[in-house]
Structure 1
Amino acid sequence: MKIAVIGAGFAGVASAKVLSELGHDVTVYEKAPDVGGVWSRTRRYPGLTTQNNKDSYTLSDLRMPKVFPEWLSGEQVQSYLEMYVEKFDLAPMIKLSTEVRSAQPAGGGGWDIAIAGADGETTEHHDHLIVASGVFSEPFAPAYDGVDELEAAGGRILAASELHDLKTVSGKHVVVVGYGKSACDVAVEIAKEAASTTVVARQLLWKMPRKIKGVLNYKMLLLTRLGEGLFPYQSIRGAEKALHAGGSKMAGSMVGSVESVTTSQLKLKKLGLVPKGPFTDIARSTVSLATEGFFEGVEAGDIAVERDTEIAAFVTKEGKPYAELANGRAVPADVVVTATGFKQELPFFSEEIQDQLTDDNGDYQLYRQILPLSVKDLTFAGYNSSFFSPLSAEMSAVWIGSHLGGGHEVPPAEEMEAHVTARLAWMRERTDGHHARGTNIIPFSMHNIDEVLGDVGIDVSKRVKAVQWLLPIDPKAYASITPRLVEKLAARS
């Protein structure tokens, strides 16, 4: 088939590699001037790092360079993707600085893709379309009162992904909105240059130290099947039954001990930063790693945290911009950096198509996070928020390749719809609505990969999975999956 892929992050380059090896003619469209997706130099903010150690944050068939540190910078991740493109000769398939303006179903099947690039605007036809633009493609910025007043006083608002140079905040009074990883990462860097740095957090989240008591690496806790199994999945099977027997007492006890150690190690009581909910809430929407230097900066007075509140409006006082908070306080706000998440939007689709992709709650109805229920010749790669985003994206590309090649059958439409409906209801309830429109699968990343490969009928051995219970997931264990699929489909044809 002639296949179009939108996006050249991990999902896009993995799709190009997997599907081209299966004999398809693949074209990847990327509006940025480089590969990388969220790691592109056009989107990296100061202090951007991975939450994973380098050995678990890769595609299956290329390890991170040995000279890279355990915790990768955004620049290093982007460099890795460039190495991947070079190693597997993917560059001829990728059109950089090329934006997909619209994608419309063609009358006889497939898609007509309207693109704008260096050669102007044109429309190209493809038999199949893969959306690999990711769930973190468009920053979400809250609507505030008084923005005009803020800007008139010389203030400005920008998303974290739009902050590329600390000169922007040098000597300024900066307000960082949010308390997720990106908010804390960027706050640490801003505090080095700004006159003041205030983090405004509507809700505090639990943070996991990189090393518990300075010894036990967090990857041994949460980047294993055991760590994932501590949280009850939609259906509990196998060894997880023992963890959750008796009302999850064993799992609860293990998680509770981590809560106690984390509270002490990060000095959360002393700093007044103990979140309101239990530590199990860390898996409600996304697990956030504690940023090195953040709590130290709060203790030193370099970073102030206004907790359990939000910006009510922007005002001027004596000609200078301030952010008035819902708690009644006002803080100077020369620069406001919003690190408030992302919108799951697909602007290249018409409203009619977007309505077909989502339910009445606005959640994406995707079987296995991949296949739409009613839109033909369309799949999604890596359209999930996963602990192991590269591997999850690669295995979704494998599923797509198997599906297009007739390597496996999907259930009847009614069965898939019932499955997706039940899953979305569970996700909404489990996360209290913080499930990123049905795209967030954390902390159940390996469950999703198991289901995807279970459909394909190709998986790693039981021995490998047993090792993964106690040791962090190693994507290299999945390097044989694509070659085995190539053999399977070749034998079938």
Structure 2
Amino acid sequence: MKIAIVGAGFGGLSSAKVLTEFGHDVYVFEKESEVGGVWTASRRYPGLGTQNVRSTYALSDYPYPKGTPEWPSGEQVQSYMAGYTKKFGIDKKIQLNTTVDKAKQGSDGRWTLDITANGKSRTEDFDYLIVANGIFSDPFVPEFKGSDAFKAAGGKIMHTVDFHNLGDVKGKNVVVVGYGKSSCDVANACEGTAKSVTIVARHLIWKVPKKLKNVLNYKMLLLTRMGEALFPYIELKGTEAFLHGKGKKVSAGMLGSVQGVIEKQFKLEKLGLHPKTGLDTIVRSTVSLASDGIFKKIAQGKLTVERDTEIIKMEAGKVHLANGKVLDADYVICGTGFYQHVPFLEDKVMKAITDERGNFRLYRQLIPLDVKNLAFSGYNSSFFSQLNAEIGSVWIGAHIANAVKLPSRAEMLAHVDKRLAWMEWRTENKHARGTNIIPFSVHNIDELLQDLDAQIPVFTRFNQWLLPINPASYKNISKKVRSRIGAGK
């Protein structure tokens, strides 16, 4: 089957590799000049690095090169991904600097893509389309009252992904909007170069240290089955049913202990930076690793945080906050999230795969139920996004081969609706249009493996309750599935 994959981040690359192994003729289209998705040079801000340690942020059969630090930089992740394409020969299947402008589906279910490369346009037909453009592809920057006057006076407004050069803010007053990882990373990086740096945070969220008490790596807390089980899943079984039933004091006590450590380690009360909610809310939509040394800089007065407020208007050289303060500002850098949409799909297709609120209605976060020959890779963002995308790619390969036993259409629709309603409830509508499954990374993998009738060894699953998930534990899944269904090589 001739398959088009749009995007060369982890979702696109793992799909290209896996589906090639399944015996398909794969073509990858990437608009950037290099592979990497959010890790490409055009999207890397100063200070960008992984939230995961190296060992948990790898694809199953390709470890990082020796000498890579425990928390790789953005540049190192991109280099790793480029190495992956060369290792498995998929670099030859990738067309860089190539944009898919439109994808149209014919009555026969095949897709015609309008493609632009090097200023030249063409059309090409495919049997199957995989969308791997990523859920962090289109940055969202708020509209600010008075922004025209601010910019006319030389002020700059941008998203974190468009900020690349620290030298640009030398001697400037920088206001960073947001309190997520990208916002704090950028603010942290600007300190020492900029004249002043102020973080404007509408809401404070919990920050996790890389090491609790500067000793225990946070991977031991959140990147295990036990860490995931501390938060109630849509369906509770076994140990999880106990932890959120008769044993809820146990799970609450564990989270409470960790919260106490973080409070003391970062001196949150003293700094006036204690979130209004408890640590149990840390995974409603995302988890934010604390930028190195940021709380020390705040304590020293090198960085300022204006909490529980927002910019209400701008003027030349200044921003006004809802709390009444007026800040000098030359740069306003926004870590304010992303749009989740697919610009090359027709409106009728988008209406068929999303609900009235724009949520993607995908079974297993992978396939729409009302559009055939279409799948999404990487729309199950998690702690282990690369691994979830890889196992999802195996599921797609098996599905194309009609080797996944699916429930009835009515049951799948009910499943999608129930899951979206639950996600909206537990995240307060902050689930990236149904594409963010944090913290339930392993649950998603388990569900996909169950569909595939492929499991990792029981002993490995047992170890995962106390030890961080090791992607290498899943390196034989694709081979097992292909062998079972008689597909590919």
TM range (shorter): over 0.9
Alignment partner, residue 204 of structure 1:
204
For residues 246 and 467 of structure 1, the distance between their equivalents in structure 2, rounded to whole angstroms, comes to 24
Q: Does structure 1 conserve the Cα–Cα contact (< 8 Å) formed by 2:21 and 2:488?
A: no
Q: Does structure 2 conserve the Cα–Cα contact (< 8 Å) formed by 1:170 and 1:195?
A: yes
Alignment partner, residue 383 of structure 2:
387
Q: Does structure 1 conserve the Cα–Cα contact (< 8 Å) formed by 2:378 and 2:389?
A: yes
**Counterpart code for 1:257:** S
CA shift at 1:492, angstroms? 11
**Counterpart code for 1:357:** I
Q: Does structure 2 conserve the Cα–Cα contact (< 8 Å) formed by 1:8 and 1:29?
A: yes
Q: 1:45-444 residue pairs with structure 2 within 5 A? A: 45-118=45-118, 120-246=120-246, 248-316=248-316, 321-444=317-440
Q: Secondary structure at the match of 1:455?
A: helix
- 5+ residue gaps, structure 1, are none
Cα deviation, 1:234-286, whole Å, max 9, x if unaligned, reads 00112212222237221111001111110010111111000001111101111
- Provide runs of 4+ in structure 1 moved above 6 Å: none
Equivalent in 483, 486, 492 of residue 482 of structure 2: 486
Q: Does structure 2 conserve the Cα–Cα contact (< 8 Å) formed by 1:224 and 1:471?
A: yes
For residues 276 and 302 of structure 2, the distance between their equivalents in structure 1, rounded to whole angstroms, comes to 24
Does residue 1:447 correspond to 2:439, yes or no? no
Residues 115 and 82 (structure 1), Cα distance of their counterparts in 2 relative to 1, 3 Å cut: same
Q: Secondary structure at the match of 2:197?
A: strand
TM-score, length of structure 2 as denominator length: 0.98
CA shift at 1:215, angstroms? 0.9
For residues 309 and 119 of structure 1, the distance between their equivalents in structure 2, rounded to whole angstroms, comes to 45
For residues 20 and 488 of structure 2, the distance between their equivalents in structure 1, rounded to whole angstroms, comes to 18
Residues 492 and 392 (structure 1), Cα distance of their counterparts in 2 relative to 1, 3 Å cut: closer
Q: Secondary structure at the match of 1:355?
A: helix
Q: Does structure 2 conserve the Cα–Cα contact (< 8 Å) formed by 1:134 and 1:384?
A: no
TM-score, length of structure 1 as denominator length: 0.98
CA shift at 1:199, angstroms? 0.4
Residues 264 and 143 (structure 1), Cα distance of their counterparts in 2 relative to 1, 3 Å cut: same
For residues 300 and 358 of structure 1, the distance between their equivalents in structure 2, rounded to whole angstroms, comes to 47
CA shift at 1:356, angstroms? 1.1
Q: Secondary structure at the match of 1:291?
A: coil
**Counterpart code for 2:438:** I
Q: Does structure 1 conserve the Cα–Cα contact (< 8 Å) formed by 2:387 and 2:471?
A: yes
Q: Does structure 2 conserve the Cα–Cα contact (< 8 Å) formed by 1:407 and 1:488?
A: no
Alignment partner, residue 468 of structure 1:
464
For residues 167 and 101 of structure 1, the distance between their equivalents in structure 2, rounded to whole angstroms, comes to 35
For residues 366 and 406 of structure 1, the distance between their equivalents in structure 2, rounded to whole angstroms, comes to 18
**Counterpart code for 1:66:** K
For residues 483 and 454 of structure 1, the distance between their equivalents in structure 2, rounded to whole angstroms, comes to 16
Residues 491 and 335 (structure 1), Cα distance of their counterparts in 2 relative to 1, 3 Å cut: closer
Cα deviation, 1:297-317, whole Å, max 9, x if unaligned, reads 11111111000001101013x
Q: Does structure 1 conserve the Cα–Cα contact (< 8 Å) formed by 2:50 and 2:72?
A: yes
CA shift at 1:453, angstroms? 1.2
Q: Does structure 2 conserve the Cα–Cα contact (< 8 Å) formed by 1:314 and 1:322?
A: yes
- 5+ residue gaps, structure 2, are none
Identical counterparts, % of pairs: 52
CA shift at 1:119, angstroms? 6.3
Q: Secondary structure at the match of 2:433?
A: helix
Cα deviation, 1:178-203, whole Å, max 9, x if unaligned, reads 00011111111011210000100000
**Counterpart code for 1:280:** D
**Root mean square deviation of aligned Cα:** 1.2
Q: What is the aligned length?
A: 489
CA shift at 1:488, angstroms? 1.6
